[in-house]
Chains A and B, each alone.
Chain A
Amino acid sequence: MPVRKKNPTPRVQNNEMTCSDVRPLLGELLDGELSAETLAAVEAHLAHCGACRAEYAELQELVGGLRRDPRAAAPAELWTAIERRLEAASGAPADPPVRIRLARFVSGRRLATAASLLLAVGLGWLALQGPWAAPAGAAQIDFRPVLEQADGDIQAGIAALLARHGGHAVTPEEAAELMRVRVAAPDELPGGLTLRSLHVLHMGRHHKALAWHYSGPAGQLLILQCPPKIEKRYGNRECVACRLGGHNGHGVQVGKLRLMHSESANLCLCVVTTLGEQDLEAAMEAVKVEF
């Protein structure tokens, strides 16, 4: 590293400086970077020059504002994300590629049981919260925009949900880069479903989710995916507090809309759809996400 000799050439003789000598040195004075000799000369000038003192005070105010700005702490999830990349780079036993199988998390009986419980909770919560007016980018996926359209225009509800989370359209390649996943999202799915859009959504300060939106004669299908929040507890990796939905492992039906959720060690998925079970199962068989 180059080492600078502070003010190697004294710019003044006999300790007398003019304003034009002093002004360019005020920044270095403020930063404590002047040599002892130059410092003495600058201070001697400031002692009798009000204009330079005023300029120095202005500079102090300017820099004081910059210094007051507090340092932001690195989010707790940052190391988790780095560690995941380190594991992937070292070829360590990574979480296996995930093929989304509807059969894993849809069971008609469980859907019905869970629906009665969660619907009550969900609607009660909605009643307390009122219209979804919280700031965009909620920490968890906020389903209220689409639930409000459960018996109305589902497509409009999906658009509102995407907008609520600051969704921006991406290509599958961009999605893979942003989310560090390989996404196989066909343009066409069984049942005549066509990919309308692939969006990246923002959840809270640091988390993103992917959203595929398909539509066709059979209905609407929105697939949401995010990496789960994983914490180390006593040496074990444990998935905690999924950000996609509070109906972990269950399904819920509201009007003609069904929400289903599943999570594994490396994947959280939520499906919002109007498709019948057979169409949905066939569609989900064709979508693949790999880490």
Chain B
Amino acid sequence: MDERAIIQGCRAGNRDAQRALYELFADRIYSLLRRITRDEHAAFDLAQDTFMRAFERIGEFEGRSGLGTWLYRIATNQALQWLRKRRTERRHEERIARDRRSGNHEDEPAYDLENGLLRLSEQHRLILLLRYHEELSYDEIAGILEVSPGTVASRLNRAREELRKILLEQRGACAEEKPDAARPK
């Protein structure tokens, strides 16, 4: 079933078309939501909400952007709403960061990066994930975030710089901690 047939089928409420749309994008949408929220339960629920909303609003899809871009836009809006709701409960992220710190991940290069992403602002985390996790172009990201491609470029620059500074800080902190940890008692 091609994209046009999927859209037409979804508009008619055809279950096979809905399933085809889901199969095309489920992994990408779920994966993005999981990366943004850092919470697999939330990602599971938000992915459901994303597809439900897409099926409800498929009549509003005008084809000016790709179907994937449109779905990503719904998913990122869902995720941002969720993050705003959770902003007052920063305990979640702090707990994850604490769990990570307590784990034995010293040899894993992804460890710093994971914590670094958690400490980024929501806007910067989202744009880095869209660019480097989802491999979307600047124009596609612009379509999802409804900003100009120039804004995408400058926002990405700021996001990379923020992440770089966080990682440098973390490495500095580790370098200070390690001699104490290694000191015999």
Contact = CB atoms under 8 A, between A and B. Distances in A.
Contacts of A85: 48, 52
A69 B18 CA distance: 29
Interface string B140-175: 101100001110010011001001100100000000
A79 B41 CA distance: 15
20 contacts: A1-B65, A1-B143, A2-B148, A27-B160, A31-B131, A33-B137, A33-B138, A62-B164, A63-B132, A66-B129, A69-B110, A69-B113, A69-B133, A74-B26, A74-B47, A79-B19, A85-B52, A89-B52, A202-B41, A205-B41
Contact of A82 (B22, B65, B137): B22
Given A27-B153, A63-B160, A72-B31, 18 more contacts: A4-B148, A4-B149, A33-B153, A66-B113, A66-B129, A66-B132, A66-B133, A69-B35, A69-B110, A69-B133, A72-B27, A72-B34, A78-B48, A79-B19, A79-B26, A82-B52, A86-B15, A86-B18
Contact of A3 (B34, B110, B133, B139): B139
B110 A68 contact: yes
B51 interface: yes
Identify whether the interface residues of A are mostly helix, strand, loop, or mixed: helix
A183 to B, nearest CB: 17
A80 to B, nearest CB: 10
Nearest to B150: A4
Q: Is the interface of B mostly helix, strand, loop or mixed?
A: helix
A282 interface: no
Contacts of A68: 110
A58 B18 CA distance: 44
Interface string A245-259: 000000000000000
A227 to B, nearest CB: 13
Nearest to A23: B157
Contacts of A65: 109-110, 113
B118 interface: no
The size bracket of the interface on B is: 35 or more
A94 B64 CA distance: 37
A90 B13 contact: yes
Nearest to B140: A1
Contact of A75 (B22, B44, B167): B44
Contacts of B133: 66-67, 69, 71
A62 B167 contact: yes
Nearest to B56: A89
B28 interface: yes
A134 interface: no
B82 interface: no
A206 interface: yes
Given A1-B143, A27-B153, A78 B55 contact: no
B143 to A, nearest CB: 4
B29 interface: yes
B157 A27 contact: yes
A208 interface: yes
Nearest to B19: A79
Interface in B100-145: 109-110, 113, 128-129, 131-133, 135, 137-140, 142-143
A67 B30 CA distance: 17
B65 A81 contact: no
B40 interface: yes
B69 interface: yes
A62 B163 contact: yes
Nearest to B18: A86
Contacts of B34: 72
